[in-house]
Amino acid sequence: MRRKSTARPASTSKPSSFLSPMFNLFTIAIMGGVLILGIGIGIAFSSTTTLAPSNVASREFIDTKAPNPEICVQYGASAMVMDARLFVTLNPFNVYVSQPSMRPGCVLRQNNWALLEQRKLVTSDQVRDCKNRLNTFGFTGNLDSDKPDIRCIYQNEAAQNFFTAQPGAVGTPQETDRF
C-alpha cells in the first residue's frame, strides 16, 4: 500500500518576514509625524505666552525688569519685592494687612557691597552694621537715580520652596548660594 504524499503545495503568498520591515517603517513614520506635531504644538504654546506684568512667566523676565539689570545679574540676583503693612490691635486682638505692592528689586552678594560704597549709596557704618548681623543689601529703584531704596535685609534660611518640597514631589536640590 502506497501512502499519499503529504507535501503541501507551494504557497503563492509572500513570507511574513517581508511584511515586518514595512510595518516597522510605517510605525516609525507615524511616530515621527507625532513627534513633529508635538514640537509644533509646543512652539505654538510657548510663542503665545504673554510677558506682561500680570503674567510673570520666567526668571528671565524678572531679570530684565530688575533695577540696573546688568549689575543685578552680575553681582547678585534679581528679586520680586513685596511691600505690605501689618496692623495689630491688642484689645480686641486682630491682625490687618494692607494691599501689597510688588516691585522689581535686586539682592547683592556680600562680597559686592563695595559697589554701593563706591557710589556713596551706603556708609561704612551701614556696611559694618549689616555685616555684623550676617545680612546683605537689597535695593529697588535705579542706582543711578537720586533715591534708590537700599536696605539691609535678612536671608531667612528657614524659608522653603513648598512647590518642590511636597511629599512625593521630585524636585531640584536646594540652592546653596549664600548672599
Query: Apex CA 123: angle with CA 119 and CA 125, to 5°?
Result: 155
| pLDDT in the model for residue 164 | 62
List, edge to edge, every strand of the sheet that includes 136-140.
Answer: 76-83, 101-108, 136-140, 149-153
User: Highest-confidence range of 38-42, 55-59, 135-139, by mean pLDDT?
Assistant: 135-139
Residues 179 and 110 sit within 8 Å (Cβ to Cβ): yes
Give the pLDDT of residue 137: 92
Give me 94's grid cell.
486682630
Q: Among 55-59, 60-64, 89-93, 170-174, name the one with the lowest average pLDDT.
A: 170-174
Least confident of 11-20, 76-85, 107-116, 146-155: 11-20
Torsion angles phi and psi, residue 20, rounded to 5? -60, -50
140 confidence band (pLDDT: 50, 70, 90): very high
> Cell match 513570507: residue?
15
Higher pLDDT, 171 or 164: 164
Residue whose C-alpha cell is 561704612: 124
Tell me, what's the pLDDT at 88? 92
Q: Which pLDDT belongs to residue 126?
A: 92
How confident is the model at residue 46, as a pLDDT?
67
Binned at pLDDT 50, 70 and 90, residue 53 comes out as: low
pLDDT at 149: 92
Q: Which range among 14-18, 108-112, 114-118, 163-167 shows the weakest confidence by mean pLDDT? A: 14-18
